[in-house]
Structure 1
Amino acid sequence: MTEKDKPRRSPGQEIKPEHIKRWGPTWSRRVGQFLAHGVWNTEIIGAQHVPSTGRVLLAANHTGIIDGPLLHGCIPRGSHFIIKEEAFQGWTGPLMRNAGQIPVDRGTGRAALQTALALLNEDRVVGVFPEGTRGRGDVSSAKAGIAWLAVRAKAPVQPVAILGTRLPGQKRSHIPGFRAKLAVVFGEPFHAAPDDAATGRAAVQAAADRVQAEMSRHVEAAIALTGLDLPDSAQ
């Protein structure tokens, strides 16, 4: 089999820590800030809870198509998000790579997790949508990847509720109109697993259960605080 005949590996399968542009969030965060405050009317609550230094594993609910760039601009530090590898194909590919984001192969996700772990070990902010895809945003379930990172990196988990990007009756592809009211609510960081916890499967499952429970409670509290509700369903 020639090199030409070999199946091409996807961006998520090939990603390594050295591929991530550490300077990417410097410019891309400014784009997110413009979207949050120039295009939409975004209220940011609790940003003071984000540690100014050190590793942080940021976990957000996910309902709308704009959640990623919006949140990227609302975090008071530069951040690297784990994002579906489809966003790294076509014309958006160079933008995502130069923004310092992490493509994930949703088949295994191993390479993305190892890359995210390396960034956390550099005391950076790594963002994850634990639900795995756009849904209702109530965090009724959470993927194991964020728990694995929390256990391996011993990083505090920062819960974030994103509200208003998709309201009841709106489709998953909805993009909020100009000056739409949105809210990004940061909670207080918590440790999903004790510092001396083991790193095996049981520890990861326990961490996943805590992440899901804490995030679900945080989203409910954010809804009560802002008056912005979640969509009717995951559709």
Structure 2
Amino acid sequence: MTDKKPFIPPAVPVLYSFRRCPYAMRARLAIAIAGVEVELREIELRHKPEAMLALSPKGTVPVLQLENGSVIDESLDIMLWALHKNDPAQWLGSGVEMKDDMQLIHRNDLDFKPDLDRYKYADRYPEFSRFHYRQQGERFLAELEQRLQSNHHVTAPHFALADAAILPFVRQFAAVDAEWFESSPYPEVRQWLNRFLNSRLLAVSMKKYPPWRPGDPCLFFGGAGFS
């Protein structure tokens, strides 16, 4: 029988990420704003590291391994983990606000994301046209447009949890047909997205790193606070 290797705790939490994945993106946004330091391991989707698969066999990013060996492999849970450690920008609201945040994020994840996938990869779903799938996604955009008319953010009076959790997906939706999006009847959504695209927070979170290989020096992300 082969002896089981002893667990060696990481010095800081280890985050497996993929730069363009919207789930991984929102996790990095929260870690950056919270100023929580992690070791960042950028992966290639075609060559997922064995170390990541050992932690989370489902093979999707983000995956966060904590110092005690426990694993968080849901992006929203990683966001909440970081923000419960430190929330300098007050992304977490009161009980009522958090309930609204979570409901809106879940609609994004359960309804809008499937519509986005079908719109983006319409050739894989020949049952309907790309136009049909875009119309399905527009139902969520219309709700966001209405919310943004009040205070230019979707739940709180300022950029907060729901904005950060949803914008990476709206970013992808807008990029499928940028010409259509620029003339679409969602001016508040466009402004909201443009503010995000031009933000320092996104620039920090989207910095490009080489794919991680076992034995590479540690590459740290977050830490020291975001200001």
TM-score normalised by structure 1 residue count? 0.25
Q: Who wins on radius of gyration, i.e. which is larger?
A: 2
Return the structure number with greater helix share.
2
Return the structure number with greater strand share.
1
TM-score normalised by structure 2 residue count? 0.26
